[in-house]
Structure 1
Amino acid sequence: MTTSPDILCIGSVLWDIIGRTASHMRVGSDVPGRITRLPGGVAMNIAMTLRRFDMTPALLTAIGRDAEGEELISEAERMGMHCAGIYRSDDLPTDVYMAVEGANGLIAAIADAHSLEAAGEKILRPLADGRLGSEDTPYQGLIALDGNLTEELLQKIAGSPLFRAADLRVAPASPGKAERLLALLGHPSATLYVNLEEAGLLCQQQFDAAPDAAEALVARGAHRVLVTDGGRLAAECTAGDLITATPPEVMVTRITGAGDTFMAAHIASEAQGLARQEALVRALRAAATYVSGETPF
Structure 2
Amino acid sequence: MDKTPDILCIGSVLWDVIGRSASHMRQGSDVPGRITRLPGGVALNVAMTFARFGLRPALLSAVGRDREGDELVEACEALGCTTSYIYRSEDLPTDNYMAVEGANGLIAAIADAHSLEQAGARILAPLRDGTLGSSTAPYAGSVALDGNLTESLLDEIARDPGLAAADLRIAPASPGKAERLLPFLRARRGVLYVNLEEAGILCQDSFDSAPEAAARLIERGAARAVVTDGGATACDASPDGLVAERPPEVLVTRVTGAGDTFMAAHIVAERAGAGRAEALDSALAAAAAYVSGDIAT
Distance 1:189 1:268 in 2: 20
Distance 1:226 1:187 in 2: 17
SS, match of residue 137 in structure 1: coil
2:48 and 2:80 in contact (8 A); partners too: no
1:289 and 1:296 in contact (8 A); partners too: no
**CA shift at 1:46, angstroms?**
0.1
Is 1:108 aligned to 2:108, yes or no?
yes
Distance 1:173 1:252 in 2: 20
Q: Which amino acid aligns with 2:218?
A: V
Q: Specify the alignment match of 2:131 in structure 1.
A: 131
What is the correspondence of 1:1-297 to structure 2 with a 5 Å cutoff? 2-295=2-295
Distance 2:252 2:6 in 1: 31
Q: Which amino acid aligns with 2:54?
A: D
SS, match of residue 70 in structure 1: helix
**Unmatched 5+ stretches in structure 1:** none
Q: Which moved more, 1:93-102 or 1:270-279?
A: 270-279
**Unmatched 5+ stretches in structure 2:** none
1:166 and 1:189 in contact (8 A); partners too: no
Distance 1:227 1:194 in 2: 5
Q: Which amino acid aligns with 2:129?
A: D
Q: Which amino acid aligns with 1:116?
A: L
1:223 and 1:238 in contact (8 A); partners too: yes
**CA shift at 1:159, angstroms?**
1.6
> TM-score, normalized by length of structure 2?
0.98
Query: Cα deviation per residue 1:155-200 (whole Å; 9 max; x = unaligned)?
Result: 1111211111100000001000001101111334400000000000
2:120 and 2:149 in contact (8 A); partners too: yes
Distance 2:296 2:35 in 1: 20
Query: Cα deviation per residue 1:268-296 (whole Å; 9 max; x = unaligned)?
Result: 11111111111100000000110011126
Distance 1:288 1:4 in 2: 31
**CA shift at 1:28, angstroms?**
1.0
Q: Which amino acid aligns with 1:275?
A: G
Q: In angstroms, what is the RMSD of aligned CA positions?
A: 1.2
1:18 and 1:98 in contact (8 A); partners too: yes
1:286 and 1:296 in contact (8 A); partners too: no
1:133 and 1:162 in contact (8 A); partners too: yes
Distance 2:249 2:78 in 1: 34
> TM-score, normalized by length of structure 1?
0.98
Distance 1:217 1:125 in 2: 31
Q: Which amino acid aligns with 1:262?
A: F
Q: Which moved more, 1:185-194 or 1:284-293?
A: 185-194
Distance 1:42 1:80 in 2: 16
2:2 and 2:82 in contact (8 A); partners too: no
SS, match of residue 226 in structure 1: strand
Distance 1:157 1:10 in 2: 11
Identical-pair percentage: 66
2:56 and 2:80 in contact (8 A); partners too: yes
Count of matched residue positions in the alignment of Structure 1 and Structure 2: 297
Q: Which amino acid aligns with 1:18?
A: I
